[in-house]
Every structure is written in structure tokens, then in C-alpha cells.
Amino acid sequence: MSEAVVMANDSEEATNYVVSRADDPNFVKGRRSFFDYIDLGTQEASEGKIRIQVTRAKQGLVEPTGWHRHLCEGQFVYMLDGYLDLAFADGTVRLEAGDSIYIPGGVAHNETSTSDMFNLIEISIPAKMDTVPCDPPPGIPA
């Protein structure tokens, strides 16, 4: 579980920071039932400015997630291990361990394939990020 800490800095203003422990993960409900999501406590500590979570595959992706876009300023993904394939209007990108991607809010994409097991870190700004289905880009089959 995350440990939230509030302390006063030199100007007597409250400063929040949060510590998340690997041996006590804070599992939360996420967008996909076949993934585990671990909240790192940043939503509360940042007062909704940023969300950072770990996503782990419980099984490989059995079918594409479908074309969708996120309603946010942006989303950043860093692969810790395994792989994730993302389709965009101009083609598919495979992310492997050590790779990262920044997706501006509103950009249509589709998760098309994953390794059986993977771990990634996902950051979204702001913390609240809605997901809405959308049509595939012109010329790309559904």
C-alpha cells in the first residue's frame, strides 16, 4: 500500500509525497480484466495532476482491445519486461523491455498483441483519464 506523507517545507506550505512498497501493492480496478493494475498513490499526492501505475499481464492479450482514445493531456508508457504491440494510423509499434512511448491525449490506437506476461509503468496527465471507443483511422479495417 502507498504511504502518503504531508510535511511542512521551509515556507510552511504543506508538501505531499508518497511511498509505494513492492511488498504491499495497492491493486485497483482497471480497464482490462486480464491485467492487474497497481496504483502507486500519485493521484492523491499530486491532487489529481498525475497518475502513475504498474500494469501486469495475467495472460497474453487474446484479441485486440479495439480502437480507442484517451481523454487526457497525455499518456506515457515504459515497458519493464515483455512486449506490447500498439496500432496507430501509420502502423504498429512494438514496445519491449526498456522502450517507452508518449501518446498525446485523443490519439486513436489499438492494443493488438502482448507477450503472455509483461510489466509496464503507465503515467497519465491529469490523473483522471477516460477511455472512449472510436472508429479506426481511414483505410484501416476494424
Report CA-CA distances (Å) from 46 to 11, 41, 88, 114: 19, 9, 31, 31
What is the structure's pLDDT at 34? 82
Q: Is the pLDDT of residue 133 over 80?
A: yes
DSSP bridge pairs for 37: 28, 55
- Exposure class string for 10-36: b at 16+ Cβ within 10 A, else e: eeeeeeeebebeeeebeeeeeeeeebb
**CA-to-CA distance for 124 and 49, rounded, in angstroms?**
9
Q: Measured at the alpha carbon of residue 102, what is the angle toward residues 101 and 105, in degrees to the nearest 5? A: 140
Higher pLDDT, residue 142 or 9? 142
Number of domains in the chain: 1
Mean pLDDT of the chain: 90
128 in any annotated domain: yes
**CA-to-CA distance for 52 and 40, rounded, in angstroms?**
6
For 61-116, what is each residue's pLDDT tens digit? 888 999 999 999 999 999 999 999 999 999 999 999 999 999 999 999 999 999 99
59 in any annotated domain: yes
2 in any annotated domain: no
64 in any annotated domain: yes
DSSP string spanning 33-78? TTEEEEE-SHHHHTTTS-EEEEEEESS--SS---SEEEESSEEEEE
Q: CATH code at 66? A: 2.60.120.10
For 105-114, what is each residue's pLDDT tens digit? 999 999 999 9
For 26-52, what is each residue's pLDDT tens digit? 999 988 888 899 999 999 999 999 999
8 in any annotated domain: no
96 in any annotated domain: yes
Q: What is the domain range of residue 117? A: 31-133
For 1-20, what is each residue's pLDDT tens digit? 666 555 445 555 657 789 99
1 in any annotated domain: no
**CA-to-CA distance for 131 and 31, rounded, in angstroms?**
8
What is the structure's pLDDT at 52? 97
7 in any annotated domain: no
